[in-house]
Chain A
Amino acid sequence: MSHPTSLHHRGLGPWSWLVLAALAALPPLLAALGLEFYTVVATRVLIFAMAASSLNLILGFGGLVSFGHAAFVGLGAYTVGILADAGVGSAWLAWPAACLVSGLAAALIGWVSLRTRGVYFIMITLAFAQMFYYLMVSLKAYGGDDGLPLPQRSQLGFSLDLKDDAQFYWIALALAALTLAGLQRLLNSPFGWLLQGCRENEVRMHALGAPVRRVQWQAFVLAGAIAGLAGALLANLSGLVTPQLLHWSQSGQLMVMVIIGGAGALWGGALGAAALLLLEELLSTYTIHWQMGLGLLLLFVVLFAPRGLAGVWKRRGHG
């Protein structure tokens, strides 16, 4: 409470433990209700919450509208898939490798892309993502268009078994919670203030002597690495890695999640991922034309809740 500025992101404080406990209790609850299938859906939501939150770091807090974020998710997934294909099934090797590969790709893409601004930045990040998409399509040794099935889920050791959906859910929950907590700390640190300062007024930050490009680049690399981890989890969840993961419509979907959740709100990515995926799930049980409903809803959000779900919440909470 000592920082009433808009740069300080409070999160839920002690309430976050309660939310975490409630989320952790979900698998046994679903099992008791005979709805085990929804554990997988919930895991998917958690994974996309991570991916969308990483995009929110650069898009919402950095003001860098990247239209190629799916590339990092996809690269992470392919790293796990290709390593598993080569016989490396340990999560302790494969998952950090996924972060590393995606982070390196982000370092390269960010270095070139951050020379451009605005719309041109949107388009150049899209261009790079498309290059990786076609690269994966061309990898005939790893399935090409059809994708690469994973022989099995990664092994964690310590008598943990990812084949068990509930255990997989808890691992994903732990990683998502760590990601969000880490992002909160980062955003409330001097680095986070610099990043948000660059979003508000780049020229002024330059004049103050801030290393604008470097800060943006570091955030871009970090976001890429987190997306890579999300990709590693996603590969394990679906048991299949396809070029579709890197397609531009996936990048668009991540962007939609961030925007409906609330760009530049700590919980924006997570809220948006949950809202979009659960809505898809819900609408598709009622009608095969659920995309129509989803589209109309999105239009409604743009026209009447321009700051996303987090914005609505904030308005209610603070009058």
Chain B
Amino acid sequence: MDWILVTEQLLNGLQFGLMLFLLAAGLTLVFGIMDMINLAHGSLYMVGAYLAASVMAASGSFVLAVLAAMAGTALLGMALEWALLRRLYERDHLSQVLATFALILIMNEGVRMLWGEQPLLLNTPAALSGPVELLPGLLYPSYRLLIIGLGLLVALLLWLGVTRTRIGMWVRAGASNRPMAMAMGVDTRRLFTLVFGVGAALCALAGSLLGPLLAVQVGMGESILILAFVVIVIGGIGSIRGALVGALLVGLVDTASRTLLPAALRLLASTEVAANVGPALASILIYLLMAAVLFWKPQGLFPARSG
């Protein structure tokens, strides 16, 4: 096992973790402030990817595609919040699960009706298709580097927005004690719609950036949704810092164990066993991580709620 492979895997893990963070950030705020389980968050990610693929195909500009996907998905998210989800805040978690499960069905089928059954192609922008030599001997795809850079930038902006602005203060106040925030005159209705829109835009950003790496297809939202939930539960619901730490943790564990674990297993057992058990063990490891965190810290690593 040489250091080039390890560095490459660490970078891949960082890249995946940052994309998970984009999804988890919106989810954790919606969950933390509104106490709302939104299973349809993954569907917004799917819609974002589809919008990006369509605009890319029509215009040929990747930047335009990403921006259009973010704007369109944010509008859709805010419309959903305004028309439907707002009615569910006061309901129990079961109703929220059922309603947003229904939304998954509707949005999956809607996408299938509009774009068809076949997965769409979203190509990496031509300028970024080649690799970059980071260090002598270490070649890394430039597109993935872009994703890492953008992810770090958005994380920084989000952190500044939440910790340094007035709206961010309202958001934090809402997450830690909603009735108190309302009593202090925070217009939580408008705030919720805004948070939902930002969350949806971040979903679309993740969807359109990951589109060229993964397939743009119906159902792409569900698999990543569960990972995003794992992230926010590990990090502590409602905490942006927790979402970032959780996302990087999950991203690194997932990516690293997928390649390094089979390699390690090969040293202990036969090649065949390693090839069979390795990938599944890697997937199990993430859930083991979450179960362990919840076992010792039942509120997650960075609990946001006070009392």
Q: Interface of A with B (CB < 8 Å)?
A: 59, 65, 112, 115-120, 122-124, 126-128, 130-131, 134-135, 137-138, 140, 144, 248-249, 252, 255-256, 259-260, 263, 289, 291-292, 294-299, 301-303, 306
A135 touches B284 (CB 8 A): yes
The answer to the question of B112 belonging to the interface, with a C-beta cut-off of 8 Å to chain A, is yes
Give the docked Cα–Cα distance between A144 and B110 (Å): 32
Which residue of chain B lies nearest to A67 when distances are taken between CB atoms in the complex? B97
B276 touches A138 (CB 8 A): yes
Say which residue of B98, B279, B284 sits within 8 Å of A298 (CB atoms). Answer: B98
B299 touches A120 (CB 8 A): yes
Q: How many A-B residue pairs have CB under 8 A?
A: 126
Say which residue of A117, A137, A256, A299 sits within 8 Å of B103 (CB atoms). Answer: A299
Say which residue of B93, B104, B226, B280 sits within 8 Å of A137 (CB atoms). Answer: B280
A123 touches B280 (CB 8 A): no
Extra contacts, 11 of them, besides A123-B229, A292-B110 (Cβ < 8 A), are A65-B97, A126-B229, A256-B98, A259-B98, A291-B106, A295-B105, A295-B109, A298-B105, A299-B84, A301-B98, A302-B99
How near does chain A come to B217, taking the closest CB pair, in angstroms? 15
B110 touches A124 (CB 8 A): no
Report whether over half of chain B's contact residues are helix, strand or loop; otherwise say mixed. helix
Q: A116-B294, A259-B98, A292-B105 are in contact. Are A134 and B230 (CB under 8 A)?
A: no
Give the docked Cα–Cα distance between A310 and B191 (Å): 37
A291 touches B284 (CB 8 A): no
B230 touches A127 (CB 8 A): yes
B280 touches A130 (CB 8 A): no
A127 touches B101 (CB 8 A): no
Say which residue of A124, A128, A298 sits within 8 Å of B101 (CB atoms). Answer: A298
Chain B neighbourhood of A120, CB < 8 A: 233, 294, 298-300
Q: A65-B94, A115-B295, A301-B98 are in contact. Are A130 and B226 (CB under 8 A)?
A: yes
B97 touches A131 (CB 8 A): no
Q: A128-B291, A292-B105, A296-B102 are in contact. Are A119 and B276 (CB under 8 A)?
A: no
Give the docked Cα–Cα distance between A259 and B84 (Å): 19
Q: Which of B88, B91, B113, B290 has the most CB of A within 10 A?
A: B290
The answer to the question of B248 belonging to the interface, with a C-beta cut-off of 8 Å to chain A, is no
The answer to the question of B108 belonging to the interface, with a C-beta cut-off of 8 Å to chain A, is yes
The answer to the question of B237 belonging to the interface, with a C-beta cut-off of 8 Å to chain A, is yes
Give the docked Cα–Cα distance between A137 and B276 (Å): 9
How near does chain A come to B20, taking the closest CB pair, in angstroms? 15
Chain B neighbourhood of A126, CB < 8 A: 226, 229
**0/1 string, B264-307, CB within 8 A of A gives 1:** 00000000000011011101100110110011001110000000
Chain B neighbourhood of A259, CB < 8 A: 94-95, 97-98
Chain B neighbourhood of A256, CB < 8 A: 98, 101
Q: A120-B299, A259-B94 are in contact. Are A289 and B102 (CB under 8 A)?
A: no
Chain B neighbourhood of A299, CB < 8 A: 84, 99, 102-103, 106
B98 touches A260 (CB 8 A): yes
Give the docked Cα–Cα distance between A249 and B219 (Å): 11
For residues 234 through 277 of chain B, which have their beta carbon under 8 Å from a beta carbon of chain A? 237, 276-277
Chain B neighbourhood of A248, CB < 8 A: 226
Say which residue of A128, A134, A297, A306 sits within 8 Å of B280 (CB atoms). Answer: A134
How near does chain B come to A65, taking the closest CB pair, in angstroms? 7
B276 touches A298 (CB 8 A): no
Give the docked Cα–Cα distance between A138 and B230 (Å): 21
Which residue of chain A lies nearest to B290 when distances are taken between CB atoms in the complex? A127
A249 touches B109 (CB 8 A): no
Which residue of chain A lies nearest to B35 when distances are taken between CB atoms in the complex? A119
Give the docked Cα–Cα distance between A135 and B284 (Å): 8
Say which residue of A118, A131, A303 sits within 8 Å of B287 (CB atoms). Answer: A131
A123 touches B105 (CB 8 A): no
For residues 18 through 48 of chain B, which have their beta carbon under 8 Å from a beta carbon of chain A? 31, 37, 39
Chain A neighbourhood of B189, CB < 8 A: none
The answer to the question of B166 belonging to the interface, with a C-beta cut-off of 8 Å to chain A, is no
Give the docked Cα–Cα distance between A124 and B230 (Å): 9
How near does chain A come to B268, taking the closest CB pair, in angstroms? 16
Say which residue of B91, B105, B276, B291 sits within 8 Å of A127 (CB atoms). Answer: B291
B108 touches A306 (CB 8 A): no
Chain B neighbourhood of A263, CB < 8 A: 94
Chain B neighbourhood of A296, CB < 8 A: 102, 106
Chain B neighbourhood of A294, CB < 8 A: 102, 105
Give the docked Cα–Cα distance between A50 and B105 (Å): 24
How near does chain A come to B241, taking the closest CB pair, in angstroms? 19
23 A-B pairs (CB sep. < 8 Å): A59-B94, A65-B97, A112-B291, A119-B37, A124-B290, A127-B290, A130-B226, A131-B291, A134-B283, A135-B280, A138-B280, A248-B226, A255-B101, A259-B97, A289-B113, A292-B109, A294-B105, A295-B109, A298-B105, A299-B103, A302-B95, A302-B98, A302-B102
Q: A124-B291, A292-B106 are in contact. Are A115 and B226 (CB under 8 A)?
A: no
B102 touches A127 (CB 8 A): no
The answer to the question of B87 belonging to the interface, with a C-beta cut-off of 8 Å to chain A, is yes
For residues 53 through 110 of chain B, which have their beta carbon under 8 Å from a beta carbon of chain A? 84, 87-88, 91, 93-95, 97-99, 101-106, 108-110
**0/1 string, B189-226, CB within 8 A of A gives 1:** 00000000000000000000000000000000010001
Give the docked Cα–Cα distance between A89 and B93 (Å): 42
Chain A neighbourhood of B31, CB < 8 A: 119
